[in-house]
Chains A and B, each alone.
Chain A
């Protein structure tokens, strides 16, 4: 029984700052390297000092895996690789590799250029960090080293999101990252085969929610947007540039077309056009419908949605604006929010999860008086709506994935403690597997049953298969040998070789047994009778009568002497080594039955 360790640097009973360290059969793998949107100080990055202690990250980690491009999964990567120092391989899918540096640069700009922070990673560091990235295909088995292999599965959460299987020998872990089990307007559903990992590490953002049908949510969303626009209000939809934004754009675009609406829809510039371009070039990662029709009509070329200019925010009349970032913690979405918050005709729709500490989280939890920078108080009169559009698996989806993969243990991360506790119970009840939910900094140990390969020496194999009936491929065969554990490997060798290699002297174990036989004849005649008797019964064995008056059956020695007191009784000495125990005891019991009546 070996064990597997799993340690959460971030994302333990917490959403944001995903960073998990897994130790499997001596290999150390870091899963995601995220930042926390709710903090602006040291706490935004995971604490890598636990890993480094005094050594170097590169020496300790075998590889780093990034599940998708959201900053809470990759935001700390340049800090980790360039500032703390890591030179090993970083694995991610092609779309993630393409989009990740752009979001990192965007994040850097907001932090350094706008907020004026120093001691932050630079553009060059992002570039250097990305040079360490190895892109992987879906389902490709990547051999990190001779023993460690990883494989990506489609996760559906955002463009290029993947789940990863990490395997060493027959021990394996699956890390889901964020995933979505129901296809949406632009992405497909997550899928994994029945790979039976020892441990499944699953996100649990929506651990207790069983969300109503997507269609209802969409209808609700469109109704609210439509009503606000009809009464002349402005709708602000804070989004991240890539992901949900595209889905909602497709939704509004088709709705505007169908209803023949005229109110303008804007998308905050910068990333947007680029973002749509990524979707066009990586269209093989979207859902089946979009992939099938892209030659005729590319869903990511929008007619009604135009680029936003800062001046438009003050325009009179209704409009809909998609603005980044999604949690109202900085940037354009926050600027527009401050402008529009005072008017009750307006509406802000939060289409995704908001991390604690962000403006988004505050207004969603009912706060209507916000303290902004410079002690200014902002009164929120506009309507605040929450629509769960972010593509995480809900409780039903998580259960479904567990059913697909059939793990032996489940570990929940990326969720809130209370909700996770509920899901943990449900999982344990339904699947009868252990379920863990470690807090940040806590280590979980999981017992596994790894198979251990043993090399058998060719000589021994040939010798053993030559004994007895010819081998039948369908039946197991018993073999004798010595198991040597040396130099971190296991070998099955012949006893002689083992003795030789270990420099041990051989000891023999012999059994001797006396069998009394009633026979008045002379000793040599008794021996002859025994010899004939054995020869008659043991036809397949070599039975020999030696000149010194003893008998051998294979390597077993039989000698006869007269009983010291009773001349009519002969004593047969049967002697065999431990290796011949089977034949020896058989012979003894045979002789104990006595000799047949001689026929002179």
Chain B
């Protein structure tokens, strides 16, 4: 039994497990915090961004003036954003037999692994994970490809040069390994290697090991995995939640009596109570709109947004916001909203009961029907005609480096009436805002992270009676 950890990110794991002569990769998350070092990709020419001064070395040399720009004391790379891949040198990834995916956030590096390492095995994931994972990848590829950037900076990556740069660029690790985004053909090739599985389905690997996905309660189709031989049982717990949101609740009973429990994807903000954060989110939103300002919510196109829309559905009438338009802008907005309604079997009990009636499980169907929520593939086209202020906009990407959100930051940043509310916990909001400084708009940080916190973990460990724990 060996375990290798290929990702430095705590909530976007990538581990490799060698067990009974099979090599199993557990998740392949993509660390996107690297993009924070880059300048945002504006959808329309931004005079502010193009006028930023070049950064000059202390000795006055202009060596990097084309690659690095300065904004409010921070230095950014002026290039197509790049991602930090899982470690590929530690072991030969072509020997990986299978990849087990636990949720759609933890599969974003899949094309890099399946298309570039000689990987020939099978990937296992649930149907919602694959469908929503595809949407996340599509949005990512789309938001980077639609803003072609002529220049691709590489000089700053030279070790000698990097040494001279200010933090955090100076301290960025393995910059030579950073990669540009994959393409849609690569996404499709990677996804074609996935075999769909259901919760509690027993899958035999070479007759040596049996793997079983279990509901993890964190997202639609999210799963923990049991990896067992006849006499040993390894549980891989990744991104799990004990809170009642839209997904099917976590299956704890099946984790009992594991010899080893590998635990990843804990909440990074244990002090932020999700319920409290949602309340704060709603009240900040209402206050801004009542004062005539606009609200920007940088978010992923699936996941927490479903819960937020549901809260707003209950909240808007009582808060007198019925006439405020809600916009959801993403190339996959429509697909995401539609897909959320068809996975009845993967939803919590209350939502399942609604489907039996038959009614759509999520109330955003009604928000769309009553025209309170409108969705658009991008800011271009129909949106520009329908656009009314004050309004609430949900759009990506939460890093604020690409996607339609860049446009709204530029548009609304100058007015203190407007508010940007951060709900996704993956990026530091201060770092995300750095290239937009100085900023007049209000910034509210309401991270909503439903994953396990330490108290819940210790309770869980007590309940499942495990022999050994592993925190990679």
Contact = CB atoms under 8 A, between A and B. Distances in A.
A295 B335 contact: yes
A191 to B, nearest CB: 12
B358 A277 contact: yes
A252 to B, nearest CB: 23
Nearest to B203: A139
A294 B356 contact: no
B198 A283 contact: no
Given A282-B355, A295-B338, 10 more contacts: A138-B198, A139-B198, A139-B201, A141-B200, A277-B358, A280-B342, A281-B360, A283-B342, A284-B342, A295-B334
Nearest to A284: B342
Interface string B314-352: 000000000000000000001100110111110000001
B457 interface: no
A458 to B, nearest CB: 13
B262 interface: no
A535 interface: no
Best-buried of B197, B201, B344, B352 by chain A (most CB within 10 Å): B344
Given A94-B345, A284-B342, A294-B338, A278 B201 contact: no
Nearest to B127: A284
A280 B342 CA distance: 7
B341 A281 contact: yes
Interface in A259-281: 274, 277-278, 280-281
A457 interface: no
A137 B360 contact: no
B199 interface: yes
B345 A97 contact: no
B201 A140 contact: yes
Contacts of B345: 94, 135, 137, 284
A98 B202 CA distance: 26
Nearest to A291: B342
A135 B353 CA distance: 12
Interface in A115-150: 135, 137-142
Best-buried of B335, B341, B342 by chain A (most CB within 10 Å): B342
B358 A274 contact: yes
Contacts, number: 56
A284 B338 contact: no
A135 B202 CA distance: 18
B342 A294 contact: yes
Contacts of A284: 127, 342-343, 345
A163 to B, nearest CB: 15
Contacts of B339: 295
Contacts of A141: 200-202, 212
A281 B344 contact: yes
A561 B425 CA distance: 95
Contact of A137 (B199, B341, B361): B199
Interface in A508-533: none
Contacts of B200: 137, 140-142
Nearest to B347: A94
Contacts of A280: 341-342
Interface string B201-220: 11000000000100000000
Given A140-B198, A142-B200, A94 B342 contact: no
B338 to A, nearest CB: 5
B323 to A, nearest CB: 29
A368 to B, nearest CB: 41
A553 to B, nearest CB: 40
B199 A140 contact: yes
Given A282-B342, A284-B343, A98 B355 contact: yes
18 contacts: A98-B344, A98-B356, A98-B358, A135-B345, A140-B200, A141-B212, A142-B200, A278-B358, A281-B344, A281-B360, A281-B361, A282-B342, A282-B344, A284-B343, A294-B338, A294-B342, A295-B334, A295-B335
A285 to B, nearest CB: 9
A282 B202 CA distance: 24
Interface in A440-465: none
Contacts of B338: 294-295
Contacts of A295: 334-335, 338-339
A99 to B, nearest CB: 9
Nearest to B336: A295
Best-buried of A139, A142, A281, A284 by chain B (most CB within 10 Å): A281
Nearest to B339: A295
A294 B338 CA distance: 8
A283 B202 CA distance: 25
